[in-house]
């Protein structure tokens, strides 16, 4: 207990470093959970049902798009409102809303955000019903619907609806400097739901038992995240403040581009697995799922270091600390580029041997598919890191380019997979990205870099660089 208190006290003084450590913990839990669960899933369910489980999970992640960028907008706005000082010049972009400064602004922001999150949860519930009743019957995933498949679908979908509500508390924890705690809870959730899935399979090797285990753990995560926010910020946030209609409209307006980007990101990445299963059948999913999961895990591990810097970057802009913000941006990009290169080397040269030891031979993609997947992960990562700072600075110029990239990816997958099989998935993603954001993102980041100081009066040049890195 004393050790935990020491770490908590240190985390409050070094929020960015603590967030990185918590991010690694989160990633470690996610990876360990997958290492434990996937062999059991493949062995106890068989390759076809396992492919169905992976595909359903991928398809249901579309419900998360109902968030429509509100989480990202709230994190950025909470960080800005907390440090905003109306008596000093700030360097934020046009999408940052000038609320009341400090905790008064945070309280009003929370009340207004709560209205939005209840709305998006309702939209996601309707979308869940629509997908099952009107979309799945036309795919190869579930050719015959039954009470059993409906229960599996709605149990997993229910867990995602709960995660949408959980995102409200997590967003405020991230924005006000407790990102390390939100990531600790999320990481523990990822580990526990994988362990709970295995336990459920051992008791009853069936998709429904797994779905109910996931739903139960999601309830616990929702309660834990809300309790953490109410305990840590309850003295500062006034939860009785009513929502502001003007702030609700403003949040919707600035979240719209985020939502477009998030929807397009789904088309670029998350839709690959269910789309592959819909075109080639569930049995083709598992090998590519393993490669994509490892790629995603490596990319997320790098982002644990990079995205944890964004709220502090926004806070520095809000306080007019331009030189400190530029130093943070440059340092993070250098580190991120190096780590993505190392991750790509690991994915191509090391992951095949690990998969053979993990789930056995013949369960992984071939070298041609893997090299395209590796190249796409590397280039996409190098383009993504600078773009995160553009978003954190209060502007979002990526909506149209991401939509084009997403549509090109889906169209390419639909056209190429029937002709060249699984190879069509990474090839489509690589070609679509090369035509759009793999050059556009760095361009917009460079424009931000050259603009930060010029937007401020010269008397703001006296900067105090924060110690926390």
Which DSSP string corresponds to 80-145? HHHH--TTS-----TTS---SSTHHHHHHHHHHHHHHHHHHHHHHHHHHHHIIIIIGGGSSS-SS-
Print the domain residue range for 154.
14-460
pLDDT at 468: 39
Region 102-111: mean pLDDT is: 86
Q: Is there a domain that residue 170 lies in? A: yes
Closest C-alpha to 46, from 257, 211, 283, 248: 283
Tell whether the model's pLDDT for residue 11 goes beyond 70. Answer: yes
Give the DSSP H/E element, type plus range, for residue 318. Answer: helix 310-318
pLDDT in tens, 166-225: 999 999 998 888 888 898 999 999 899 899 999 999 988 888 999 999 999 999 999 999
pLDDT at 177: 80
pLDDT at 15: 75
Q: Which residues contact 360 (CB under 8 A, 6 or more apart)?
A: none
Q: Is there a domain that residue 61 lies in? A: yes
Tell whether the model's pLDDT for residue 466 goes beyond 70. Answer: no
Query: Can you say how many angstroms the Cα of residue 39 is from the centroid of all Cα atoms in its chain?
Result: 25
Tell whether the model's pLDDT for residue 16 goes beyond 80. Answer: no
Tell whether the model's pLDDT for residue 344 goes beyond 70. Answer: yes
Tell whether the model's pLDDT for residue 114 goes beyond 80. Answer: yes
Tell whether the model's pLDDT for residue 380 goes beyond 50. Answer: yes
Q: Is there a domain that residue 245 lies in? A: yes
Q: Is there a domain that residue 465 lies in? A: no
pLDDT at 320: 78
- The mean pLDDT value of the chain amounts to 83
pLDDT in tens, 19-75: 878 888 887 898 898 888 888 888 888 877 787 788 777 777 777 766 777 888 888
Q: Is there a domain that residue 87 lies in? A: yes
Q: Is there a domain that residue 182 lies in? A: yes
Q: How many domains does the chain have?
A: 1
Dist. CA 186–CA 393, nearest whole Å: 26
Which of 138-152, 338-352, 389-403, 430-444 has the least mean pLDDT? Answer: 138-152
Tell whether the model's pLDDT for residue 423 goes beyond 90. Answer: yes
> How long is the chain?
469
Whose tokens are 């429509």? That residue is: 68
Region 236-248: mean pLDDT is: 85
Tell whether the model's pLDDT for residue 459 goes beyond 50. Answer: no
Residue scoring higher pLDDT (431 or 240): 431
Q: Is there a domain that residue 8 lies in? A: no
Region 256-270: mean pLDDT is: 75
Region 379-399: mean pLDDT is: 90
Question: Residue 143's pLDDT band (boundaries 50, 70, 90)?
Answer: low
Which of 28-37, 164-173, 282-291, 387-396 has the least mean pLDDT? Answer: 282-291
For the entire predicted model, the pTM comes to 0.68
pLDDT at 467: 35
Q: Is there a domain that residue 305 lies in? A: yes
């Amino acid at each position: 207990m004393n050790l935990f208190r020491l770490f908590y006290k240190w985390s409050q003084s070094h929020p960015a470093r603590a967030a990185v450590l918590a991010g690694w913990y989160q990633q470690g839990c996610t990876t360990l959970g997958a290492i434990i669960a996937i062999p059991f899933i493949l062995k106890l369910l068989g390759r076809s049902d396992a492919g169905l489980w992976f595909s359903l999970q991928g398809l249901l992640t579309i419900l998360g798009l109902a968030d429509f960028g509100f989480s990202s907008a709230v994190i950025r706005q909470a960080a800005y409102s907390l440090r905003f000082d109306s008596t000093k010049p700030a360097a934020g972009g046009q999408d940052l809303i000038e609320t009341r400064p400090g905790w008064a602004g945070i309280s009003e922001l929370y009340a207004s955000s709560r209205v939005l999150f209840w709305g998006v949860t309702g939209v996601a519930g309707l979308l869940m019903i629509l997908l099952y009743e009107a979309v799945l019957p036309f795919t190869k995933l579930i050719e015959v619907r039954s009470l059993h498949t409906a229960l599996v679908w709605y149990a997993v979908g229910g867990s995602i609806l709960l995660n949408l509500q959980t995102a409200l508390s997590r967003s405020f924890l991230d924005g006000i400097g407790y990102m390390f705690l939100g990531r600790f809870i999320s990481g523990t959730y990822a580990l526990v739901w994988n362990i709970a899935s295995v336990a459920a399979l051992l008791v009853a090797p069936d998709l429904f038992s797994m779905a109910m285990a996931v739903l139960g753990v999601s309830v616990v995560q929702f309660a834990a995240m809300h309790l953490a926010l109410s305990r840590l910020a309850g003295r500062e946030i006034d939860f009785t403040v009513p929502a502001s209609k003007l702030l609700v409209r403003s949040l919707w307006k600035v979240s719209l581009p985020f939502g477009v980007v998030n929807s397009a990101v789904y088309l670029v990445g998350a839709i690959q697995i269910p789309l592959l299963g819909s075109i080639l059948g569930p049995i083709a999913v598992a090998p590519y799922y393993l490669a994509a999961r490892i790629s995603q895990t490596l990319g997320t591990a790098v982002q644990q270091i990079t995205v944890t810097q964004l709220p502090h970057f926004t806070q520095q802009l809000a306080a007019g600390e331009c030189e400190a913000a530029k130093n943070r941006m440059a340092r993070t990009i250098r580190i991120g580029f190096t780590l993505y290169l190392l991750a790509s080397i690991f994915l191509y040269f090391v992951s095949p041997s690990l998969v053979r030891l993990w789930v056995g031979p013949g369960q992984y993609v071939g070298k041609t598919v893997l090299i395209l997947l590796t190249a796409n992960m590397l280039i996409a990562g190098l383009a993504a890191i600078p773009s995160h700072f553009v978003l954190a600075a209060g502007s979002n110029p990526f909506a149209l380019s991401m939509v084009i990239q997403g549509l090109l990816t889906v169209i390419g997958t639909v056209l190429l997979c029937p002709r060249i099989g699984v190879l069509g998935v990474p090839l489509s993603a690589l070609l679509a990205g090369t035509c759009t954001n793999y050059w556009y993102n760095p361009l917009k980041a460079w424009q931000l870099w050259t603009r930060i100081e010029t937007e401020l009066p010269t008397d703001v040049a006296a900067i105090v660089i924060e110690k926390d890195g």
